[in-house]
Each structure stands twice: as structure tokens, then as C-alpha cells.
Amino acid sequence: MLRVRVDDQVMTTTFYVEGKLVGSSVDELRKVWTATHAEFPQKQTVVELTSVLVVDATGRTLLRQMHVNGTQLSGKGIMVKTLIEEIANGNNSVRESGFLLTREN
């Protein structure tokens, strides 16, 4: 299960992502982010990942896409920081990742 809480401020919109970023839940985050980005393209967007438990390959690809489009990825904890670092460095390979992945259907 995935929960996305949106904190919309004057200069920044922050998405607080909680739970499992896997399967069809990735599409839900994509829809929310795309709609917000389209409505306010000049606003800084931040995705806060501290409460994310699991990310699959599709979720990782979305996070990479968001990062490439100017979204700041943020979070605490060794696994989340590793994920953010790998994405920021351009490593989107599941095989080389140090982050916990799953293949949930």
C-alpha cells in the first residue's frame, strides 16, 4: 500500500511518500506528480522518501524520471539515502542497487 501526502506551499510542493512504491501504486504517484508539475511548472518539487519501505524497478524508474525533471529527492535512513544517491549518480540498474527491491504483483 502507498500513501502520498501533498504539502503545497507558495514556493515548493512536497510529496511525502509512505509505504510500498511498487506495481500499480507507482502509477498513482506518477499521476499526482505529473498533474502538479503541469499545473505549477515553475515550482520546486520535493519527494520525501523517509517512510518508503520498498521500491521496485518501476518505482525506481519513476524516481529517476522525477529527478531528471528537477524534482529533489529527500529522505533519511541508510537505505533511502543509498537509493537517492544511486539515482542522483545516474545508476538506475536494479542489479547494482544496494536498495531493497521486490517483485510484488
Predicted confidence band at 95 (pLDDT cuts at 50, 70, 90)? low
Provide the pLDDT for residue 92. 63
Q: What is the pLDDT of residues 21-68, one digit of tens each?
A: 999 999 999 999 999 989 988 899 999 999 999 999 999 999 999 999
Distance CA 98, CA 17 (A): 20
Q: Is the whole-model pTM more than 0.75?
A: yes
| Contact in structure between 38 and 74 (CB atoms under 8 Å) | no
Domains of the chain, earliest start first: 2-88 (3.30.750.24)
DSSP structure string for 28-97? HHHHHHHHHHHH-TTSEEEEEEEEEEEE-HHHHHHHHHHHHTTPEEE--SHHHHHHHHHHHTT---STT-
Predicted confidence band at 94 (pLDDT cuts at 50, 70, 90)? low
